[in-house]
Chains A and B, each alone.
Chain A
Amino acid sequence: MSLSLKTARPVPVRLSPMTSYLLTRIRQSLITLVLVSMVVFAGIRALPGDPALALAGEERSPAALAAIRADYGLDDNIAVQYGRFIGHAITGDLGTSSRTGLPVADAITAALPVTLELAALSLLLAVVVGIGAGIVAAVRRGRPEEWLANALALLGLSVPTFWLGMVLVLGFAIALPVFSASGYVPFAADPPDNLRRMVLPAVVLGSGLAAVVMRQTRAAMLDSLSADYVRTARAKGLSRREVIGTHALRNSLVTVVTVLGLQLGHLISGAVVTEQIFVLPGFGKLTIDAVFTRDYATLQGVVLCTSAAYILINLLVDVAYSLIDPRIRLGGAR
């Protein structure tokens, strides 16, 4: 690079490749979030029914309806309405639930920790069991361990969530009451009791993901174990542990993280069913209740939050990629 050019142009701030990559990804995520909010907003407006009619109750004279529309800003331009919605959403005001009469934001804040904990525990389970079993299946290829891991994965993939939930409740909450089958106690209030109640839901929600992760890990590990750089690692005299754990696994993680990212979305939707089974007051339950009672404001808030979560997860997955694979971070081929 020539440095001798005498120009008056200010020197641009040099960002590290990682920082500029992050900034790009965050910018993209924000744009996506804005687009999503538009779709959510428009989607709700496209639903059949007139909010003014619903609000008016018995008094349905045109004058009363017009007054309500003016009052709620419903006769404003749609763009103006959207602007108002976003303005409120940014300050944390997502409207009022028509079912409970309470702020939607409060309902979401109450439900969020439950679902987050459930998702985090399921994810932990899926990562630990899935990656562990995947490594074992690849390393012990053609031996009983691989058969066992494959059989478990097939089971995890094919058993429906609700059925697994019921069987686990029968087994570990009723016949052998180790865990509790229903209700939620905040972790901060009573950690052991919280875990006693969360283990079964986490197993139910995480088993499918664990199976997918196991299969991907196994396939990716088989690939990397036959790669030239693993041969190099062996030629260096590295221990089996280093060859598998450092050289093969690190390369396999790119694939596994991709799958995890795609599947995390399923965790959120899977939580809806799981929360119903175990009567957990989380996001899933909030969504279902909102759907059944036509609670549009709550639904809108829930969908917006879920979408934001998806976008955030995608961002995190991309960051994880670049931490694992320098070729993504530093922009290179091969």
Chain B
Amino acid sequence: MSLAMSEPVLSVRDLSVSFCSDTRTVHAVDHLSYDVAPGEVLAVVGESGCGKSVTAMAVMGLLPPTARIGGSIRLGGREIAGASEKELGRIRGKDIAMIFQEPMTSLNPVLTIGRQIGEVLRRHQGLSKKEARARAVELLGLVGIPAPAQRVDEYPHQLSGGMRQRVMIAIAVACDPSVLIADEPTTALDVTVQAGILEVLQSLRERLGTAIVLITHDLGVVADTADRVLVMYAGRPVEQAPVDELFAEPRHPYTHGLLGAVLRPGGEGKRRLPEIPGLVPSLDTQPEACTFAPRCAHADDRCATSRPGFKTLAPNAGAAAGAAHRAACWHPQHAPALMPTTREAGQ
């Protein structure tokens, strides 16, 4: 797909999120910036606890009041960081929607799925009960639920996990939002079901032109789905690039490590899967250093004392259009990826 960037539909600048308790402050997200173009799929990858979900929740305005948010979040050119709950209520579900990691618990067990889909339509489009129900049936069909006219009156416990996630997607796309945030939408599902969910997301992107922020730690999903990838580590962005470029030529040592840790069929015999040594640092300090330095084979004194900027590397084709290859590293790597990408040629 063409990456010619029009005006970004979602633009995050210097987003910082910290949680304060009596004893310590945790910096969950530290100066993160990204743009998403209309119809684009941006994958945000990283280990658990690297701030992927917190970023998404911050964009949705769903963080608890204990969270302190800094920076700017612009949706369709409108600043939404620091908006009141009331203003957010008019935006959420209509201009920006989210699906969650836990399809089993994300639907209300005591309401029919028709009602739960209809609710968002009645809220934002002012549909009557009857109209909302009819539209809910259409939406269920759109996300690939068989016999939608019967399913619409069922309750969540009568549906499987995959079906529930489809219902969540139906709710999310009901009002045709310009941005859809999918927070690990397939993590809790069987592999066979995962493919179906990703297909639905892809087709919605094509049909409705929805931009998708896909949060995942599954690099296979990234390779299959994303246009661009943002790699996060310990609350900071470490690398960002168009997907093919990232897989072909990762520049940050952490991205190298991530790609190296993927198991691939047909690899060289019984090789032990390479892992990244050490642990993710605790998030209660904000060191003026590279947070990955303690685990990095290429680290030197500079890495331990000053924080690398998130800079555009050697210009590539997409650089001008905003799809630059950026990395936060003093020693960007040049070696090709340990393994070739699984993406089929020609994509």
Q: Give residues in A with beta carbon < 8 Å to B.
A: 227-229, 231-240, 242, 246-247, 250-251, 324-327, 330, 332-334
Contacts and interface: CB of A to CB of B under 8 A. Distances in A.
17 contacts: A228-B105, A229-B108, A232-B168, A232-B171, A233-B108, A235-B93, A235-B97, A236-B119, A236-B123, A237-B88, A237-B92, A237-B120, A324-B110, A326-B110, A333-B157, A334-B104, A334-B157
Interface string B264-284: 000000000000000000000
Interface string B310-334: 0000000000000000000000000
B100 A232 contact: yes
A259 B52 CA distance: 41
A238 B111 CA distance: 15
Contact of A237 (B91, B100, B105, B155): B91
Nearest to B101: A228
B109 A237 contact: no
B124 interface: yes
A239 to B, nearest CB: 6
Nearest to A325: B110
Contacts of B112: 326
A247 B91 CA distance: 20
Interface in B119-142: 119-120, 123-124
A237 B93 contact: yes
- Most chain A CB inside 10 Å of its own CB: which residue of B62, B105, B108, B158: B108
Contacts of A227: 105
Nearest to B97: A235
B100 A231 contact: yes
B89 interface: yes
B79 interface: no
Q: Identify the 5 closest CB pairs spanning chains A and B, nearest first.
A: A237-B93, A237-B92, A236-B93, A228-B105, A332-B157
B60 A235 contact: yes
Nearest to A334: B157
A151 B62 CA distance: 31
Interface of B: 60, 62, 85, 88-94, 97-98, 100, 102, 104-112, 119-120, 123-124, 155, 157-158, 168, 171
A232 B108 CA distance: 8
Contacts of A242: 119, 123
Contacts of B100: 228, 231-232, 235
A268 B314 CA distance: 82
A121 to B, nearest CB: 29
B157 A327 contact: yes
A236 B110 contact: no
A242 B168 CA distance: 18
Nearest to B168: A232
A69 B18 CA distance: 87
A331 to B, nearest CB: 10
Given A231-B62, A234-B62, A234-B92, A240 B107 contact: no
B97 to A, nearest CB: 7
A231 B155 contact: no
B91 to A, nearest CB: 7
A229 B119 CA distance: 13
A330 B158 contact: yes
Contacts of B123: 236-239, 242
B110 A251 contact: yes
A327 B156 CA distance: 9
B188 to A, nearest CB: 11
Contacts of A332: 155, 157-158
B155 A330 contact: yes
Contacts of B97: 235-236
Nearest to A238: B123
Nearest to A234: B62
Contacts of A325: 109-110
Contacts of B91: 237
A324 B106 CA distance: 18
Nearest to A226: B64
Given A232-B168, A240-B89, 8 more contacts: A229-B107, A236-B119, A237-B88, A237-B92, A242-B119, A247-B111, A327-B155, A330-B155
A235 B92 CA distance: 6
Contact of A327 (B85, B104, B109, B120): B109
Contact of B85 (A236, A240, A247): A240
Given A327-B155, A332-B158, A231 B108 contact: no
